[in-house]
Structure 1
Amino acid sequence: MALRDPRHSPVPAADPTRLVSSVIWPGFVGTTVPEWLDRALRNGLAGVVYFSHNIDPDVPGQLPALSAAIRAANPSAVVGVDEEGGNVTRLQAREGSAIPGAAVLGALDDVEVTAAAGRAIGRLCRDAGVNLAIAPVADVNTNPLNPVIGVRAFGSSTGLVSRHTAAAVAGIQQAGVGACAKHFPGHGDTVADSHLDVARVELTLAQMREHHLPPFQAAFDAGAAAVMGAHLIVPELGEAPATLNPRAGALLRDMGFGGLLVTDALDMAAVRATVGPGEGAVLALLAGADLLCVGNPLNAYTTGRDDEACFTEVFDAVYDAVASGRLPAAVLQAAAGRVAAFAQWSERAFAASQGSGDRASGTGPSGVGASGVGASGEAIDWVDVAARACRVDQGAGALALAGPDAVVTLVDARTGHNMAAGPTENFLATALLERHQVCVPDVDLLNAENLSFLVSAGASLGEAVLVLVDSLASPGQQATLAAVAAVAPQALCINAGLAPEAGTPTGTALTTIHCHGFSRVSAQAVVRLLNSRE
């Protein structure tokens, strides 16, 4: 189902306040609609982006009711959420995603399963009242040191990422929800996280065209309703981040994409710490963006500023730029037209999905569907999918856990968290607790000697020892692995990060399970795999 030509879409023309509001997409604080947001929505605000703090899984129906209240204020509101499956979830943030992430799906390399995962994501969104899923990730993760993409990508092969991106887009949109491929023109070869710094891709445009643009073309060919730009510099396009770069915007449109171009969050350091969110919004519109994602008002770097102030900063800057003539009204009209075109498409797509009988067949912890259904209607066991995608590099340790009465010592060697995913619970500990007793020592409070003593004590009693890592390239995590291996060579390493190429040394002698991500479903898959070997 194609988007209509935005020139034929009704957009506010006479009232500059409504016109400016119609391209701004803020976050907000709370699980109900705050007064300022209700007022802005009634005055034409484009919509909202949900974050995990907007969702209360303990209150049945809270999120659909919130979406209904937003649409009561603005029936055309674009309601979006980062819902990639795997590591990055907002709708299932507390318990972790029940849908495998991109790296799991890429490792399995079954496009029908990926399409089914897309449909499951689409149902989660649709049942929550969300009409734009900020997914899938179309980046080709060619740099293993990439700090922000990693297992969020389908893989490091352009062809593999292209076919799975297309499948995910098709699946999401079959559920009546728009897909937003990200992060154009490709964030996979960076060594900086644009949440924290300006990222650069030190590749020629020809190299970008060969290796990083094809998945976006595949998304467009699959009918993706939207694409998200990246705050990264491609030197051949100039020194402005792509989000603020007219040459990047032109490159996108030259690829034949006529849909909605969304900015990555304007509160990320690549914009916030350079030109600022207000000026960034103006530059993004001049570069061809349509929808201005303001960002998460509860991010650490927005401390001291409330949600309304974050929105107002962007609104005032855009309004002043239009009033001064710096931002031509025609540019704003074109952007507003594409936002309106998406809203119209969304209404038709939702109606079509309802008419097709595409219903969710289960509910997750947020009260929205998470079950998988294959192309022929059969149910999909996502834990089985994630388990089949796991790869084992055999060392001294056996792939088995002791019986339910034994204690499993779980050493969590991870350091920090991915900014896109945010801090999470220890899903592996939770999955283990369903059948086992679990000891999780606080690595931060133990020195190497004490940790070795604790682990060796458990191992001497025949207890299973697991070490959880998410970066085999991290010196700190490698040090913990070495300390455990020295006293418990039968221990198992659970690698929730990128897996090296088959046959490549992992840097540890321990038997290693590569599960391609850290989520509820991947943790359950690891435990199922271990328990099946008892």
Structure 2
Amino acid sequence: MTSSDLLTAPAPAQTSPAGLTPAVEGQLPEDLNRLINSVILPGFVGTTVPQWLERALENGLAGVVYFGHNIDPDSPEQVSALSAAIRAANPNAVIGVDEEGGNVTRLQSRDGSTIPGAAALGALNELSTTEAAGRAIGQLCRDAGINLTIAPVADVNTNPLNPVIGVRAFGADTALVSAHTAAAVRGIQELRVAACAKHFPGHGDTVADSHMDAARVDLTMAEMAQFHLPPFRAAVEAGVASMMSAHIIIPELGEAPATLTPAASALLRGMGFDGVLITDALDMAAVRVTVGPGEGGVLALLAGNDLLCVGNPLNAYTTGRDDESCYTEVFDALHAAAVSGRLPVDILRRAAGRVQALAQWSAGEVAADKHDAVDWVSVAARATRTDSLGSGSLGKTPVLAGSGVLTLVDARTGHNMAAGPTENFLATALHHYAVTAVNATELSSAELEVALMQARGAVLVLVDSLESAEQAQTLELVFATAPQAVCVNAGLAPAEPTLFPALHAHGFSRVTAEAVVRVLETV
């Protein structure tokens, strides 16, 4: 089938597809509750298994997704013990986690990822290094008893104003993203950890965050096929075990989010993908404030998804609801739809079969653990780009040479919902310097100017978006008051070199922060 065939293929019917048997009262399977559980992947609160979750796992729940609050960084064995307890309740459980490396990590969320993120790897453009990074992520997950990492990001970040993808993508070039997506998939899956390419059919050209709003892609499907679909096709060719559907609206596919649109899954299956199609979280605004997570789960299964990611019960927008009720809302909606005949039992069985096939594959033997001897700080340092450093008013003296005293101005405004709030890893990486930390968002312009006039030694100003008017205004004030300052850009690097001294790190994590310090001590 050609790409043009895929774009014109009719969408499957939303109810009672051909060859599937609707469930009606009196014909329901005895294991209906187990069958419904087998397609649900909820989050939960705590670092141990709550009673409701244990019961659900014993009754066939597909598995769980870990978030940062499920990980105790002070107890190295806690997460593997948690995974073991989950599998004691359901030996075939799928345990997933958003472990992308770089900005988005759950297993290393407190201290920051030790593995460079996609933008740094794309900037370096060494496929063998990206594959090694995939192996490192796979090993990190395997050591924790996790068999699904919801990575890599296969989106092509063609819109620099994109508020949720950005440095999580390998770049803005389709061919580059395709090659690195495939390399990351190969690396992750060498450890029998399922990779999950996301967010199909491509979240890279949006200007809204689907966590908080309906994200729309105003491109034709011909444009999507040219620029955004190839990385997902590359993931399929690399044998990716799962994909994540996006809550984005593409007009030619319909006015519902792609997760709820049969045409989107038909497009993916037409690429030859027969793995597990996982929804993005059902608690995100594109679903939550329209049809709701329960109905969203029903529509997602009818649209061709296999596994329903419920979401993070500690998200601000779920405050006031406990973790069990987030799960039961989806379970109850699926049960009602199955009993009424609206959700054919065969759809549930087909989805459950794919999920169990993934779990069984992940339980296979790995030839050997893959610990590549890679200095990831060196990798992240080689990926950095410096503009206007080492010349002009800075001379040839390294930026961080001299007294060991510096001022660090944090000009960042907010955080990416996917990454969540993080510590200032750069301040931590500068631990052997006498650092005066200044949070620009907490000061007036006059107060910031006074702080800068009192600064001794080097001045670093940390930003995560050169497109942000507020951060640009802070940069202008910093350079006007402290001409010796250097911008540390943790966001997307501009296409053209900046005229002001800058180091572009392509992300913000522990490894990139340590790389920034290493570079600034030498340039």
Q: What TM-score results when the alignment is normalised by the length of structure 1?
A: 0.91
Unaligned 5+ residue runs, structure 1? 1-6, 361-372, 374-378
Which residue of 1 is the match for residue 7 of structure 2? none
- Kindly report which structure 2 residues correspond to 1:280-295, keeping only aligned pairs within 5 A, or say none: 280-295=296-311
- Find out whether 1:451 has 2:448 as its counterpart: yes
Measured against aligned partners, the alpha-carbon deviations of 1:214-254 in whole angstroms (never above 9, x if no partner) come to 00000000000000000001100110100000111111111
Separation in structure 2 between the aligned mates of residue 494 and residue 175 of structure 1, nearest angstrom = 35
- Corresponding residue number in structure 1 for 2:331: 315
The alignment status of 1:516 with 2:513, answered yes or no, reads: no
**Map of 1:491 onto structure 2:** 485
Residue 103 (structure 2) pairs with residue 87 (structure 1): yes
> Contact 1:154 / 1:160 at 8 angstroms: preserved in 2?
yes
Match of 1:370 in 2: none
- What amino acid does structure 2 have at the position aligned with 1:141? N
The whole-number CA distance in structure 2 between the counterparts of 1:163 and 1:36 is 43
Count of residue pairs brought into register by the alignment: 493
Structure-1 separation of matches of 2:29 and 2:340: 17
Question: Is residue 278–residue 316 contact of structure 1 (8 Å, CA) maintained in 2?
Answer: yes
| 1:510 CA displacement | 2.6
Match of 1:390 in 2: 384
| 1:357 is aligned to 2:347 | no
The answer on whether the counterparts of 1:408 and 1:437 sit within 8 Å (CA) in structure 2 is: yes
Residue identity in the other structure for 2:448: L
Distance 1:209 1:60 in 2: 44
SS of 1:441's equivalent in the other structure is strand
The reply on whether 1:415 has 2:413 as its aligned counterpart is yes
Query: Given that residues 192 and 362 in structure 2 are in contact (C-alpha distance below 8 angstroms), is that contact kept between their aligned partners in structure 1?
Result: yes
Q: From the superposition, tell whether residues 436 and 404 of structure 1 become closer, same or farther in structure 2 (CA, over 3 Å).
A: farther
Contact 1:263 1:293 (8 Å CA) reproduced: yes
Question: Is residue 527 of structure 1 aligned with residue 517 of structure 2?
Answer: yes
Distance of 1:403 and 1:159 partners within structure 2: 40
Name the amino acid aligned to 1:358.
Answer: D
Superposition deviation, residue 403 in structure 1 = 4.7
Report if aligned partners of 1:397, 1:491 keep a CA contact under 8 Å in 2.
Answer: no
Does residue 140 (structure 1) correspond to residue 130 (structure 2)? The answer is no
Aligned-pair distance for 1:340?
Answer: 1.1
Tell me the TM-score normalized by structure 2. 0.92
- Runs of 4 or more off by more than 6 Å in structure 1? none
Match of 1:465 among 459, 475, 487: 459
- Residue matched to 1:48: 64
Quick one: distance in 1 between partners of 2:252 and 2:400?
Answer: 57
TM-fit CA distance, 1:13: 5.5
> What's the counterpart of residue 173 of structure 2?
157
C-alpha contact (below 8 Å) 2:98/2:150 kept by paired residues: yes
| Cα distance in 2 for residues equivalent to 1:221 and 1:307 | 37
Paired residues of 1:397 and 1:510 also in contact (CA < 8 A): no
Q: Does 1:479 align with 2:473?
A: yes
Question: Secondary structure, in 3 states, of the residue corresponding to 2:180?
Answer: helix
Amino acid across the alignment from 2:176: L
1:429 aligns with: 427
Q: Which deviations, in whole Å up to 9, do the C-alpha atoms of 1:486-515 show, x marking residues without a partner? A: 011110000000011134xx4xx4300001
Instruction: Find the residue that maps to 2:310 and give its secondary structure.
Output: strand
Query: CA, structure 1 residues 270+473, in 2 after alignment: closer, same or farther (shift >3 Å)?
Result: same
In the TM superposition, residue 404 of structure 1 has moved relative to its aligned partner by: 7.2
1:237 aligns with 2:253: yes
Residues 22 and 45, structure 1, Cα contact 8 Å, conserved in 2: yes
Residues 241-279 of structure 1 deviation map (CA, whole Å, 9 limit, x = unaligned): 000001111111111100000000000000001100000
Gaps of 5+ in 2: 1-19, 21-27
User: Equivalents in 1 of 2:191, 2:313: separation in Å?
Assistant: 29
Structure 1, residues 11-65: CA drift from partner, whole Å, max 9, x if none?
x963100000000000000000000000000000000000000000111300000
- 8 Å CA contact retained: 2:411, 2:441: no
Residue 408 of structure 1 deviates from its aligned partner by 1.1
Whole-angstrom CA distance in 1 between matches of 2:299 and 2:362: 27
SS at structure 2 position matched to 1:49: strand
Q: How does 1:324-403 map to 2 (within 5 A)?
A: 324-348=340-364, 351=365, 353=366, 356-360=367-371, 373=372, 379-394=373-388, 396-397=393-394, 400-403=398-401
In the alignment, structure 1 residue 222 sits paired with structure 2 residue 238? yes
Instruction: For residues 93-116 of structure 1, give each alpha carbon's deviation from its aligned partner in whole angstroms, at most 9, with x where no partner exists.
Output: 000000000000000000000000
Q: Cα 1:204–1:77, aligned 2, differ >3 Å: closer, same or farther?
A: same
Residue of structure 2 aligned with 1:439, choices 436, 457, 470: 436
